[in-house]
Amino acid sequence: MNRESKAKVKLRKFRIGDYDTLIELWEKSRLPYKPKGRDRRDKIERELQAGKALFYVAECDGQIVGSIFGTHDGRKGWINRLAVHPEYRGRGIARKLVTRVEEDLNKLGIDIIACLVEGWNHDSINAFKAMGYSEFEDIVYFTKRKYPDV
């Protein structure tokens, strides 16, 4: 991949045929990947079919260089799995992906959009702050998992 490429970045909806390339992008982006849980191909395909997933990829020169997965429960929207290939960072791709999901959620009447970012992921924390997101410190996140690696 060539960071200096002048090709325009285009967003399009994720297709399940993109799955293997998506996983490669996540790995290169150091995004935690849960192959036995939420990130399994069949689980992602099911979420797409349920109609509440806003899953986009960013392409440059025909290569997938970014991804985002937005979801909602009808009242709150979530931004998940935002990733940009390291060689393509600093070009506004993350902002373009987030804006697309925000617009889709706003069209659905959803006024609260949230995301969870691991504390070690300073690049993502800084990116979301730069896009106008505020850290909300009054919540303690709990999880109950059927298996530790899901």
Query: 109-141, pLDDT tens digit by residue?
Result: 999 999 988 888 899 999 999 999 999 888 888
Q: Which residue has the higher pLDDT, 20 or 144?
A: 20
Classify 62 in phi/psi space as left (phi over 0), alpha (psi -120 to 50) or beta: left
Token pair recorded at residue 70: 């937005």
Helices and strands: H and E segment counts in the chain: 4, 5
- Asked if residue 149 belongs to a domain, the reply is no
Residue 35 domain boundaries: 10-130
Q: Which residue has the higher pLDDT, 63 or 140?
A: 63
Token pair recorded at residue 15: 């297709």
- Asked if residue 83 belongs to a domain, the reply is yes
Indicate the number of domains in the chain.
1
- Asked if residue 68 belongs to a domain, the reply is yes
pLDDT in tens, 65-120: 999 999 998 899 999 999 999 999 999 999 999 999 999 999 999 999 999 888 88
